[in-house]
Amino acid sequence: MGEEVKVFRTWSSPFALRVVWALDLKGIKYETIYEDLSNKSPLLLQYNPIHKKVPVLLHNSKPIAESLVILEYIEDTWKHRPLLPQDPHQRANARFWIKFGEDKVFPAVRDSLLKQGKEQEEAHEAALESFKLLEEELKGKKLFGGEEIGMVDIALGWLANLVSVLEEVLVLKFIDEHKFPLLSAWMRLFADIPVIKQSWPPRDKLVTKYIAIREARLATN
């Protein structure tokens, strides 16, 4: 077919992992280009001049940036093994939860890492509140996509591995098995799916990375 698919990523970017998972689930072949964000390549800057970040998907010389936009592009382009339901209302529901993950869940967890004192407490509280809503949404389902991984699972998948890393780094509990049984079960199930499992970054490296990020942030305060 002569399709050229390239993924610009880093070894640990949770956003880039979304793109990797989507392509792997659909069985699309691609070349991986690892970026060093402290020394961005001219190609990355050319392909994502606005945000200068990973991931970037390059498909037949067309660059697409922003992981959630890339997921929709992958879904629009390769229609087999769909990641979104067919029904418009169910698709809207999936997009709603993807947005919820981005607007509420992620910032709360991120701020729990980056802040301290009262601000950290508030971020942690907000994270727990957001997990309650995810727990509700999982009622009657084993995955957000139902029986199979869908775009919501992919968008929230960073939880399945980063939460335990951050719990270790911060000595703070996020997803307690007893408070969030469905979410805990989802994280285990998701993490164990072969396509997902094979791409997790090494845990010890992640712990080191996030300790360093927190220390750097606290040092600037």
Partner 1 sequence: MEEQKSEAVLIGTWRSPYCQRVELALKVKGIPYEFIEEDLSNKSELLLSYNPVHKKVPVLVHKGKPIAESLVILEYIDEQWGDSPKLLPEDPYERAKVRFWANFYDQKIMPATLPIIMSKGREQEKAIDDMNELLREFEDGMKRDFPGKFDFDDSQNLGFLDIVVATYAGNYKAFNEAVAVAMSPEKTPQFWSWVNALKEHPLIKETLPPHDKLVAKMREKFYGQTTNV
Part in contact with partner 1 (CB under 8 A); list of ranges 91-99, 140-148, 197-205, 208-216: 91-99
70 touches 26 (CB < 8 A): no
176 touches 76 (CB < 8 A): no
Nearer of residues 6 and 59 to partner 1, judged by Cβ: 59
SS (H, E, C) 33-72: EECCCCCCCHHHHHHCCCCCCCCEEEECCEEEECHHHHHH
What x-and-dash track marks residues 128-167 binding partner 1 by CB under 8 A?
A: -----x----------------------------------
CA distance 20 to 154: 10
* Given 45, 69, 216, 218, the residue binding partner 1 (CB under 8 A): 69
Smallest gap from Cβ 96 to partner 1, in A, equals 5
Residue 45 contacts partner 1 per CB under 8 A: no
Residue 66 contacts partner 1 per CB under 8 A: yes
What is the layout of strands, in order, in the sheet containing 5-9? 31-34, 5-9, 56-59, 62-65
Residues contributing to the site for partner 1 (CB under 8 A): 50, 59, 62, 64-66, 68-70, 72-73, 76-77, 88-89, 91-93, 95-96, 99-100, 133
